[in-house]
Chains A and B, each alone.
Chain A
């Protein structure tokens, strides 16, 4: 069954949607939408470094994404607004990454493949990395769920319950770094943020509790992956963007549903 590239692609998409759902909810709730972009841009530097030192792309992107997460965690709350900080880090990492790529001689790399991903070329090894990473992220978020939720609602309420908001933020940024690193092959740098935010945003009108929203986001993400891949196969469109398009259409649909609900 795993010999079929479409099956591997679907499993890869489902894996990413699975990890992105709970994480994407926190990204939406904490207004960190730009964080996904920033980590993803930084991952380009990771790709360049992996090629320069001939190590696996996954290790390179993971290292840079984790470094990025740590730097953001340390610098946040030191007089810079989060969006400024992320802007500085994202674009400088991207610029350094592109410059670094140009130094690598003899290797012609297809940057487009990293910008948009290539879900149809997912190997068995990629698949195990994606599912391993996704399981790790979901376990991490599940373990810290209540503490993360409390610190998202209000930092002082968290302190009063003996929770350290800064530590929870680190858990979140590390989980985000892992997700970006495993998802880069599937949807690429440009569309990772979309997989984080769009299913979560589409799930919002359908939900009454945080847990409900995370589950709904997961289902929307998984459906988008399956339907998007199918559409790409039938219509001969690029796979990653097709998945995101389905998610976006779902977002529009749930927004309209919500609008109708309000009119009643």
Chain B
């Protein structure tokens, strides 16, 4: 059975429709990436899955006992609120100190437990959010543009960390990403969203779908090239070579 099953989901904000008739499912252990232009309802979809928006139609079914870890987009911590990383990881319910240091280690920031949340760099903060999301050993990780604001090196190493987390814990990942080159090399399945599901399938299938081409143009041919890189490892693509090595680090 799927970990989560989204059935015929329709979400409206006032008069405008963010999502209409969206269905998808995530199986244990797979990485599914949602791509789509701005305003295509990607964030609305994740927010509907965590229960932050009520759909007007359709539903989200979770397999019983499924634990979800959520990494939001762009979280701003007000400096008026003093809070250490370890206190943040204990919200909303207390966890053992050992679990905290284990989660921070797995997220790649083992030394930050005592740091103030508002003083972290963008990359450190995203990793702390990742640590908080994996602390309860979730079956499914939801990532909403988790690398926003990171430079290319930072985001490549962040995705590398996520891949490591998946290898260690076997959790499934449903993520939103704008970084097509990373998406295409790291995902098992890609869903192209634009208010509705335009097309979905393996990265190669989606990249060659006319719906995807219509949304992202031919400029994303590089993404496909990189995706192929991963398999044939012929490093003769010049410009994309550098991107690829970053992503693979």
**Which chain B residues (42-65) contact chain A, with CB distance < 8 Å?**
47, 50-52
Chain B interface extent, by class: 20 to 34
| Contact present for A153 and B52 (CB under 8 Å) | no
Best-surrounded residue of B69, B80, B87, B142 (most CB of chain A within 10 A): B80
| Contact present for B68 and A160 (CB under 8 Å) | yes
| Contact present for B70 and A156 (CB under 8 Å) | yes
**Residues from chain A with Cβ under 8 Å of B47 in the complex:** 156, 159
Which of A68-76, A81-89, A143-151 lies on the face that meets chain B? Answer: A143-151
A156 touches which of B72, B78, B80, B83 (Cβ 8 Å): B72
**Residues from chain A with Cβ under 8 Å of B116 in the complex:** 208
Min CB–CB distance A62 → chain B (angstroms): 29
- A153-B88, A157-B72, A159-B50 are known contacts. Are A210 and B80 too (CB-CB below 8 A)? no
**Residues from chain A with Cβ under 8 Å of B80 in the complex:** 28-29, 31, 204
| Contact present for A146 and B70 (CB under 8 Å) | no
**Residues from chain B with Cβ under 8 Å of A154 in the complex:** 72, 75
Quick check: is B81 within 8 A (CB to CB) of the other chain?
A: yes
Quick check: is A123 within 8 A (CB to CB) of the other chain?
A: no
- A156-B70, A159-B50 are known contacts. Are A207 and B92 too (CB-CB below 8 A)? no
**Residues from chain A with Cβ under 8 Å of B91 in the complex:** 146, 149-150, 153, 161
Main SS of chain B's interface residues? loop
**Which chain B residues (99-133) contact chain A, with CB distance < 8 Å?**
116
**Residues from chain A with Cβ under 8 Å of B84 in the complex:** 208-209
Chain A interface extent, by class: 20 to 34
- A154-B72, A160-B68 are known contacts. Are A147 and B82 too (CB-CB below 8 A)? no
Quick check: is A212 within 8 A (CB to CB) of the other chain?
A: yes
| Contact present for A161 and B92 (CB under 8 Å) | yes
**Residues from chain B with Cβ under 8 Å of A157 in the complex:** 70, 72, 75
- A146-B91, A154-B72, A210-B87 are known contacts. Are A159 and B52 too (CB-CB below 8 A)? yes
**Residues from chain A with Cβ under 8 Å of B72 in the complex:** 154, 156-157, 160
Min CB–CB distance B204 → chain A (angstroms): 32
A150 touches which of B52, B78, B92 (Cβ 8 Å): B92
In the complex the two chains form, what is the Cα distance from A28 to B80 in whole Å? Answer: 7
**Residues from chain A with Cβ under 8 Å of B142 in the complex:** 160
In the complex the two chains form, what is the Cα distance from A156 to B69 in whole Å? Answer: 12
- A147-B92, A157-B70 are known contacts. Are A209 and B83 too (CB-CB below 8 A)? yes
Which residue on B lies nearest to A164, using beta carbons?
Answer: B51
Quick check: is B205 within 8 A (CB to CB) of the other chain?
A: no
Quick check: is A100 within 8 A (CB to CB) of the other chain?
A: no
Quick check: is B215 within 8 A (CB to CB) of the other chain?
A: no
> What per-residue 1/0 map shows which CB atoms of A1-39 lie under 8 Å from chain B?
000000000000000000000000000110100000000
| Contact present for B92 and A163 (CB under 8 Å) | yes
| Contact present for B78 and A210 (CB under 8 Å) | no
Quick check: is B248 within 8 A (CB to CB) of the other chain?
A: no
Quick check: is A152 within 8 A (CB to CB) of the other chain?
A: yes
Quick check: is B234 within 8 A (CB to CB) of the other chain?
A: no
**Residues from chain A with Cβ under 8 Å of B82 in the complex:** 204, 207-210, 212-213
**Residues from chain B with Cβ under 8 Å of A155 in the complex:** 52
In the A-B complex, list the 5 residue pairs whose CB atoms are closest, starting with the nearest: A160-B70, A159-B52, A160-B50, A146-B92, A150-B92
**11 A–B pairs (Cβ distance < 8 Å), ordered by A:** A146-B91, A149-B91, A150-B92, A153-B75, A156-B47, A160-B51, A160-B69, A160-B142, A207-B82, A208-B116, A210-B81
New A-B contacts (4) at CB < 8 Å, excluding given A146-B91, A210-B82, A210-B87: A153-B75, A156-B50, A157-B70, A160-B70
Task: Report B's interface with A, CB cutoff 8 A.
Answer: 47, 50-52, 68-70, 72, 75, 77-78, 80-84, 87-88, 91-93, 116, 142
